[in-house]
Amino acid sequence: MHILTGMNLKEIESITDRLHQSKFRARQIHNWIYLKSAKSIDDMTDLSKDFREELKKVAKVSEVKIKVKQESSDGTLKYLLEYPDGECVETVLMRFDNRANLTACVSSQVGCAVNCSFCATAKRGFIRNLNYKEIIEQVLTIQRDTGLKVTNVVFMGQGEPLLNLDNVVRAMEIFNESFQIGQRRLTVSTSGIIPGINRLAELNMQSTLALSLHAPNHDLRKKLMPIEGKYNLNDLKIALKNYVDKTGRRITIEYLLIEDLNDTVECAKQLANYLKDLKCNINLIPYNPVEYNDYKRPSNNSIMKFKCLLEHSGKKVTVRLERGVDIDAACGQLKGKVCKNIKL
C-alpha cells in the first residue's frame, strides 16, 4: 500500500502510470494532497469514481492519527500525533493577530539527545528520528484538520533538526516545491551542531537559520547546554560566519532569558560583544516554565532592560511572543506527554 503523503509528483506518476492513467491525473492527486488537503481518496472529486476505486486498492492518503487536539485561549492549536509504530510527537499551529501568517512548529525527532537543562523534550531522551514523510505529515494534518493553508514552517518542535539533517532537508524541499512555501518562510532552529550548520551552508538554501545561543560565555552555556562541551562558542562563531558568507542570509540568534542566570547586565554586554561582527537579529525568549527545574522567567522590566542594552549595540532585537502556554505548547514545553503504552 502506497502512502501518498510525502510523495513527489514523479513518485505519484509512477502509480498513475501503473494504473494506465495520464500524468495530468498525477498532478491532480498531488494538488489534492498538498494544496487542497484531501483527507481521503474519496475527497478527490475531480477523479472519476472508477479511478478512485482503483487507486484506493493501492494507495491511501495518510497513516497518522490525531490522538489529542488542544486549543489555547490565544488560538494556538497543539496536536499530539501518533505514527503507525505507536510513537507520538507534538506539532503546533500559531496564529498571530493582524498577520495573515499561519506558522506550523514541527518536530524533527521523537525526543532529543541534546539534553538542555531548561527543555521538557530533553527529559524523554532520544527515541528516534522522524523520516521526511513523518515531518511533512505534521503540516498536512494541520491543513486537513483546519482547512487552512500553512504559510510558514519552523523546526522548533521536539528534536534537534541538524541531527536528522537528511530528512529535514528533504522535508524542506517538499515544503518548498509541493506546498509552495517559499524557502525564506522555512526556519531551522539548532542548538549549534556545527557539521550540520556547515552542510546547510554548502546547500546554500535561502531558509532561515536560528541558533539557540542562550548564554554568552563557555561556562554558563555548558551549564545550560551540555552540547557546548562538544561544539563551543568559539567554533560556533566560525561556523556561523561561514554560513553568512556562503548564503548571504542573516542569522536569527535565539536567547533564552532566565532570571538571575543569563539576564544580567554583564551577560548583555558579553552577548553584544560575541555578536558584534555577525550579521544577525536577536530573538529573546523569556523562559517558559517546565517541570524538573527551578528556573524562573524574568520580570517584564528585566526583559525590557536586557533588550535595550542589546539594542545599543545596533542589533535588531525582538521578544518572542508567548503562544499556547496554557496548553503547554510554548517553546520548550513539548514532550509528547501521551505516548505508546499510556492509555488516554
Residues carrying an active site annotation = 90, 331
Member of 16, 138, 247, 288 binding ligand SAH (CB under 6 A): 288
Determine if 142 is a binding residue for ligand SF4 (CB under 6 A).
no
Secondary structure, 3-state, 83-143: CCCCCEEEEEEEECCCCCCEEEECCCEEECCCCCCCCCHHHHCEEEECCHHHHHHHHHHHH
Q: Tell me how many residues contact ligand SF4 (CB under 6 A).
A: 11
Taking CB under 6 A as the criterion, the residue among 21, 143, 191, 333 binding ligand SF4 is 191
Contact call for residues 77 and 70 (beta carbons, < 8 A) = yes
Q: Extract the C-alpha cell encoding 266.
A: 554583564
C-alpha cell at 122: 530533553
Per-residue contact string for residues 232-261; x = within reach of ligand SAH by CB under 6 A: ----------------------x-x-----
Options 105, 112, 140, 211; binder of ligand SF4; rule CB under 6 A:
112
**119: contact with ligand SAH by CB under 6 A:** yes
Residue with the closest Cβ to ligand SAH? 332
Residue 93 within binding range of ligand SF4, rule CB under 6 A: no
SS3 77: strand
DSSP class per residue in 271-338? HHHHHTTS-EEEEEEEPPP-TT----PPPHHHHHHHHHHHHTTT--EEEPPP--GGGT-STT-----S
Report if residue 288 touches ligand SF4, rule: CB under 6 A: no
Binders of ligand SAH among residues 161 to 200 (CB under 6 A) are 189-191
Residue window 24-63: x/- pattern of binding to ligand SAH, with contact defined by CB under 6 A: ----------------------------------------
Chosen residue from 33, 114, 171, 261 binding ligand SF4 by CB under 6 A: 114
- We find the least distance from the C-beta atom of residue 224 to ligand SF4, in angstroms, to be 9
Q: Are strands 102-105 and 152-155 parallel, antiparallel or unpaired?
A: parallel
